[in-house]
Amino acid sequence: MAGPVSATGRQVSVTEVSPRDGLQSEKVFVPTQDKIRLVESLVAAGIRSVELTSFVSPRAVPQMRDAAELVRHFRGRAGVRFSALVPNLRGAEAAIEAGIDAVVMFASASESHNLKNVNRSRADSMAGFRQIARIAEEAGVALHGAIATAFGCPFEGDVPVGNLVDQARRYRDLGISRITLGDTTGMATPGNVVPVLDALRTAVPEVGIALHFHNTRGVGLACAYAGLLHGIRDFEASVGGIGGCPFVPRATGNIATEDFVYMCEESGFPTGIDLGKLIEAAGTAERILGRELPGQVMKAGPRLALSSMDVVRTANG
């Protein structure tokens, strides 16, 4: 699924993050049965990798309090990889105990964000990685790493690429084969994605890089396209674009999975995902949350779903 970057194959892997990144900012608890319904609709569309939940403190993030129940529900499902974020050893133990396929360790590339996010320093976060790696290996569970605020920190601004390189090497030394670069608050642009990819490709060529963009400033899909052109084939997205940043009330969240899949399929990068069914899953998400979501293809439909309307003249050049 991950593996080193290849410029030859054009097949794109999509990890759906709506149950985790998409829902974690939702103030009202989404019933576990609705989360299951959402994930089933995504799997029915052909999604083969789902970041299902996060084993964080239920006090800090009440929305994720059903993490173990969710993982147990999908345990052993063939053909789909279910992953979960684990902030610490206790979270990793719980995720493995529940039957997760892959655990995702994470730390921010910037000190301030790491402190705000998990209440400890980057060094402390990274010091904890080794134990998590050990128990994952013992349990035969896949191990992934994520770098949050990879393209900028809302408190510090630009993040030195060296921070990312150090953290990526740390992950690599622990045997991790897949690292996600998280654009946590939508600060990636095509202009800063490319140099980061170049630096990491040089530093850890044996590691597969996944990209996780937010559309907070409208350029999420342009960043993804820049990544595609630079050989990245592993992306994370959230159906309907669920997952607004809680600090930017009217801004959108993750790039919408269906918009990303649409762009890929129309640009010669096959995903193996049925766009029509994915749009249905976006509709399911919209009904569950009870509000309009920012995804665009779910509204306009694919480009060749031709209009049969007897339209008025618009004198539109």
- Between CA 41 and CA 277 the distance in angstroms is 8
Token look-up 């920190």 returns: 153
Closest to a copy of itself by CB, 128 vs 154, is 154
- Between CA 161 and CA 138 the distance in angstroms is 32
Please report whether residue 198 would count as binding a copy of itself according to CB under 8 A: no
Please report whether residue 290 would count as binding a copy of itself according to CB under 8 A: no
How many residues bind a copy of itself (CB under 8 A)? The answer is 79
Please report whether residue 268 would count as binding a copy of itself according to CB under 8 A: yes
Closest to a copy of itself by CB, 204 vs 264, is 264
Q: Lay out the site mask for a copy of itself across 64-93 (x = CB under 8 A, - = otherwise).
A: x--------------------x-x------
Closest to a copy of itself by CB, 59 vs 78, is 59
Please report whether residue 187 would count as binding a copy of itself according to CB under 8 A: yes
Buried b (16+ CB within 10 A) or exposed e, 91-118: bbbbbbebbbbbbbbbbbbbbebbbebb
Residue 147's region, left for phi above 0, alpha for psi from -120 to 50, else beta, is beta
Cα torsion at 160, 161, 162, 166 (round to 10°)? 120
Packed helices 190-203 and 161-173: angle between N→C axes, nearest 10 degrees: 40
Please report whether residue 127 would count as binding a copy of itself according to CB under 8 A: no
* Piece in contact with a copy of itself (CB under 8 A), picked from 3-11, 92-100, 153-161, 168-176: 153-161
Q: Lay out the site mask for a copy of itself across 206-245 (x = CB under 8 A, - = otherwise).
A: ---------xxxxx-xx-xxx--x---------------x
Told to judge if 223 belongs to the known catalytic residues of this protein, a careful annotator would answer no
Please report whether residue 167 would count as binding a copy of itself according to CB under 8 A: no
Running DSSP on this structure, what letter comes out for residue 160? Answer: -
Binds a copy of itself by CB under 8 A, chosen from 78, 79, 290, 309: 309
Closest to a copy of itself by CB, 202 vs 250, is 250
Running DSSP on this structure, what letter comes out for residue 31? Answer: P
- Between CA 193 and CA 296 the distance in angstroms is 23
Closest to a copy of itself by CB, 41 vs 63, is 63
Structure tokens at 47: 């999604």
Catalytic residues: 245
